[in-house]
Structure 1
Amino acid sequence: MSAMNWAWRRAVRPALAYIVAAVAAALVITLFFYGLSLAEGEEDVTAESLASVFAVSSFLGLYVAVFAAIPTIVLIWLIRIVKLPRGWTDAAAGALVGAGMIHLVAYGASGFSEPPNPVNLLFAAGGLAGGLAYWFTAGRPRPPY
């Protein structure tokens, strides 16, 4: 395997897939709130509003990428060590990170005793979409690595 091919498979492609996953997770969350504003009649579907949804998703995706980096790396390495099948486990890891992050942001360190709420489900859905986006964009990796 050439050095360029190795770099693409081991560094560049996973990093790009992670950014795509973060933007996909942010897009799910942004589309939910955009749908709420449409349902309440506060917003109309226009080219400007759709462009702003994608702009907000891209910007929010950068925040998701930064804040979710360490927990995501830990969960993906655990998946690799245990050699679980990829795909749905990547999606489950994204859902766990999404729900866990918003729960930690909402309640802080004392939130471990608090039960999950509907916002956790929204961020878990975003993480689920991000995990699937990562798996597809990373070339559908599977054991053995």
Structure 2
Amino acid sequence: MAVRELSVGYVAKRCGVKVSTLHFYEQKGLIQSWRNAGNQRRYKADVLRRVSVIKAAQKLGISLQDIKLTFATLPLSRTPTKQDWAKLSKSWQQQLENRIQAMIKLKDSLDGCIGCGCLSMKTCPIYNPEDELAVEGPGPVILER
């Protein structure tokens, strides 16, 4: 069975990214290509799924480094299976759950003091009299509890 060769332009259009984005992903080791006899980049069809996963993961706040580490567990010599992708998604579930909980905490605290130690809000003395939170460290310590 012949490997379907996809051009960089086709992959970019199909995935909704710029050609330079594909070059960047390749430089970062997230995807791979080869050169044909005319020295043009070519990709296997599974790159479409990989780029889609990269885009989805980035929208969720997953760093390119985390994406790369997770992709390293996938096979390079064959197209990843449904089971491969299920395994990949599990590796991000706890990270996403932690981010969701942090965002809920932030949302619930936006209208009041978040413990930053600024003492600029009228309600801060209720949460932070005499800047007691300073001993817990810098930044919004109440959110980090």
Q: TM-score, normalised by structure 2?
A: 0.30
Task: Give 1 or 2: higher helix fraction.
Answer: 1
Greater relative contact order structure (CA < 8 Å, 6+ sep): 1
Q: TM-score, normalised by structure 1?
A: 0.30
